[in-house]
Structure 1
Amino acid sequence: MKRLRSLATALPAGIRTVAVGTAVLGVASYLQLAVAGHSLTTEAMAGVSVLWTIVMSVGIGLFLPLEQELTRIVAARTVRGEGARPVLRRATLLTCGILGVILALMAAFARPLADLLLHGDTALVAALGSAFAAMAFCYLTRGILAGLGRFTPYGTQLAVDGALRMLLAFGCAAAGLHSALAFSLIMTVAPLLALLATLPATVRAVRPGPPQPWPGLVRGLGPLMVSTLLAQWMVSAAVMSVQLLEPDQVDLVAALLSALVLARVPIFVFGALQASLLSGLAGAAAAGRHADFLAMLRRACAAVTLLCVAISVPAVVLGPWLIHLLFAAPEVLDRADFLCLCLGAFGYLLAMVLGQALIVLHRHRAQLLCWLFGTAVLVGVTLVPGPIEGRVCVAFAAGPLACAAGMLWSLRGAVPRRPSASAPAGAEAEPIPSA
């Protein structure tokens, strides 16, 4: 207990506030899927499972990089005493442009998307597009809030989103709805209302400041977006691989999604750490506090290791029984499958922590190469002959662990171990060179 308390107090300020919102949103995700699993047919639930997986993989892959870059930029401006209003304005335009391109492509290819992934239901493609739109602007405001260290409204947005997801899911069930579209639209309505509830606090928090150059805003966004897309695809690849390779395995798709929800509990919890960790690392790097940077990174790695051990043991032992009880999932997975899924979640979390350090050190390309390496390992294992459920579970473990190993190697000697001289007041530190 003393070790856990020391880790908690060493983490960046604001983590407790965000943790509450993350916990509510995590529980809501479980309940939303559980209620849907008990309200829908297996085929309809498979459609919701795939849509939920796309939102939580492709959607996060597209828009989480925006939050991360905004957090880094705004945190550095805060160290220099500069306001973030110009960043918010340009980031809003950038978000609208990215979202416009995505929605146009989805409209143009709605029928192929529906046939390939959503059992021919074009209404679910529309629901997917609306979920992307709500998600885009949520991540925009969260990036500004995290960079400013305003974690109360950040956590509030998460909590309101989660509370609404629970209310709407139970409302659909109470109304006797058996529509995949109804349960899918929850992923649009809840985050949109949460955004509106916290938007005034975001606007009040930003102050005028010097202009934000476009190159500084978009320079690292491309590699980071590709990296995050690969990361989110990797953590959801088990479901998508089955859907693409053996689409008739609807029982396995539904069971895998339920199992991944259980195995990914540490990833939901990490959401409480990620925003404040990136903000803290960016502030330490901008001020030239290399010793603080390294200490924060080590403690974050220790925290996610303890978290994964604490959650994975009961998940492996009770997982097959729990997913059937909670989500009405078909009984097609065993404890060995759950062990692979939990190992994959640990590798993913470790890669996310190390990836935050690479982002702050302006090593976006190194991070991208590591995710490409992990993806290649995952694809290679998936394509090995054998039963599909075994292949996708082992691949889920191998890919993230390979990526984390690559990032650890990339960070060797990247930060000086001796305390540096204090950075000049108001100056942003240069990127710390890699060995």
Structure 2
Amino acid sequence: MAQAGRTYGRGAAILSAGIGLTGLITFAYFSLASHALSEEDYGQVALLWSAIFITVSVLYRPVEQLLSRTIADRDARGVTGGEHLRVAATIQLVLGAAFAIAGLLLRDPIQDDLLGGSATLYWTLIATVLAYAASYFARGFLAGHRHFALYGGLVLMESSSRFLFALAVTLGLLEGQGAVALGMAAAPIVSLAVVPPALARRFRAAPPLPDAGDAPPEGEFTLSHGTGFALAVLLIMLAEQTFLNAGPLLVRATEGESGAAQAGFVFNVLLLARAPLVLFQAVQTSILPHLTRLWVSENAGTEADSFRRSVNVTLAAIAAFAGCVALAMLAAGPFLMGIVFGGDFDYERAGLVLVALAMGLYLSAATLNQALLAQGRAASAAACWVACATGFVLFLLISPIDDPVLSVEATLLGVAAALCALLYALYRRA
């Protein structure tokens, strides 16, 4: 248990450093792009990035999670063979092909309405999303085998290569919006350079454990059950994007002439929840294979209650972090938000505290979700996410709260609490 805990801790620390540095480099990429391009061209590049980020997160993270859990499970049980890789690759190829077909059929609205008529940006979108299919497959492989340093190197190399294109345009070596956008397509391809070292490490590793022989196959290792797991996680990803984006979008759609400004204000406030989620990806990535191994060991009788202890430690750390953020918002929230974002917005102290508390509950729900995925209960977890995301949107539409910003803040807190409670109830029933 102690060795597993140390491995998990090191993995989370390495990934936190890599993802944190990646975030800074991504910020630098957009900073250079904003100086090198006109406001209109930069706005289209930013919109392209948002479309890519949301699409790949929803489409490809399910296979990343499937691979991560399945590899960890098989390693813990001593099962050999490559059927899990074939299942994951098949699902990823189908998802990529579905996106390509949809993208080609919807070329006119995507290119003309979303990307300002730019064919270059349209083809960049198509190429980048397809390239990320391989990148997310590699991420799942690396996470499952606990190659967290290489995982961190992959995301760091991705952001660095993207940054170089914006730097080249700034220095005059390349020119225009297309060159900046090309960095988005090149980044996931270049980042795959970390895969050969990972494969080499696997070949140099100790001889594999004996095959499980007559052990009954796990559901995830067949195409039908693997697809079921991936679809459940895809629904979870859609629900996650609903929590993060529905508030600003609904405010924009329902507040008339002031909608755009109000939506920007809501977006700024929700960054209190978004920013920790970026760093929490490191914990999510490392905790799933860690919990999967503990779950297998606990069921085999070689570990005693280590699974729940690991979950409880993570939940306690989240509670402490969220409490500190809430206290900071209570003490100086409006002042800090004014410094960071400027403008004439009036940030309400109580609303910022609500979002900080919602962030803690949301991160706790994400941790419980990983525990349920480790137990192979993806469908039950997805049902909770979909129900809460649906309730979030419906309540925002019929909210009795007149202030749209407070409505989003209060609804997010309530739904995050409901989601956390539902997932915890499932987790306790295991």
TM-score, normalised to structure 2, is 0.79
Q: Which amino acid aligns with 1:366?
A: S
Distance 2:361 2:355 in 1: 10
Deviations 1:347-368 (Å, cap 9, x if unpaired)? 3322211100111222222211
Q: Which amino acid aligns with 1:220?
A: F
The residue correspondences of 1:254-269 to structure 2 (distance < 5 A) are 260-261=270-271, 263-269=273-279
Q: Which is further off, 160-169 or 71-80?
A: 160-169
5+ residue gaps, structure 2:
none
Deviation at 1:157, TM superposition (A): 0.7
Amino-acid identity (%): 24
The residue correspondences of 1:212-291 to structure 2 (distance < 5 A) are 212-242=221-251, 250-251=260-261, 260-261=270-271, 263-287=273-297, 288=299, 289=303, 291=305
Q: Which amino acid aligns with 2:226?
A: L
The equivalent of 2:366 in structure 1 is: 352
The equivalent of 1:5 in structure 2 is: none
Task: Please report the RMSD computed on the Cα atoms of aligned residues, expressed in angstroms.
Answer: 3.5
Distance 1:112 1:166 in 2: 29
Deviation at 1:398, TM superposition (A): 4.0
Of 184, 200, 210, 2:196 maps to 200
Q: Does 1:413 align with 2:429?
A: yes
Distance 1:9 1:135 in 2: 31
The equivalent of 2:347 in structure 1 is: 334
Higher relative contact order (CA 8 A, sep 6+): 1
Equivalent residues of 1:59, 1:132 under 8 A apart: yes
Distance 1:88 1:305 in 2: 37
Equivalent residues of 1:39, 1:177 under 8 A apart: no
Deviations 1:102-145 (Å, cap 9, x if unpaired)? 12101111223456655565654433333322322211111111
Deviation at 1:234, TM superposition (A): 1.9
The equivalent of 1:144 in structure 2 is: 141
Equivalent residues of 2:73, 2:293 under 8 A apart: yes
Deviation at 1:371, TM superposition (A): 0.9
Deviation at 1:310, TM superposition (A): 4.1
Of 331, 334, 340, 1:322 maps to 340
Of 405, 411, 417, 1:401 maps to 417
Equivalent residues of 1:11, 1:277 under 8 A apart: yes
Deviation at 1:13, TM superposition (A): 4.7
Distance 2:429 2:277 in 1: 28
Equivalent residues of 1:40, 1:178 under 8 A apart: no
The equivalent of 2:389 in structure 1 is: 375
Larger CA Rg, structure 1 vs 2: 2
The equivalent of 1:296 in structure 2 is: 310
Deviations 1:276-324 (Å, cap 9, x if unpaired)? 1001110011122351110111111122233334456369341232134
Of 154, 157, 161, 1:160 maps to 157
Q: Which is further off, 28-37 or 170-179?
A: 170-179
Deviations 1:73-105 (Å, cap 9, x if unpaired)? 100111122346443344223312210111210
TM-score, normalised to structure 1, is 0.79
SS in 2 for 1:334: coil
Deviation at 1:372, TM superposition (A): 1.5
Number of equivalences: 401
SS in 1 for 2:305: helix
Q: Which is further off, 203-212 or 161-170?
A: 203-212
Q: Indicate how the Cα distance of structure 1 residues 59 and 342 shifts in structure 2: closer, same or farther if over 3 A, else same.
A: farther
Q: Which is further off, 44-53 or 87-96?
A: 44-53
Deviations 1:9-48 (Å, cap 9, x if unpaired)? 5954522222221111122233334444555566555544
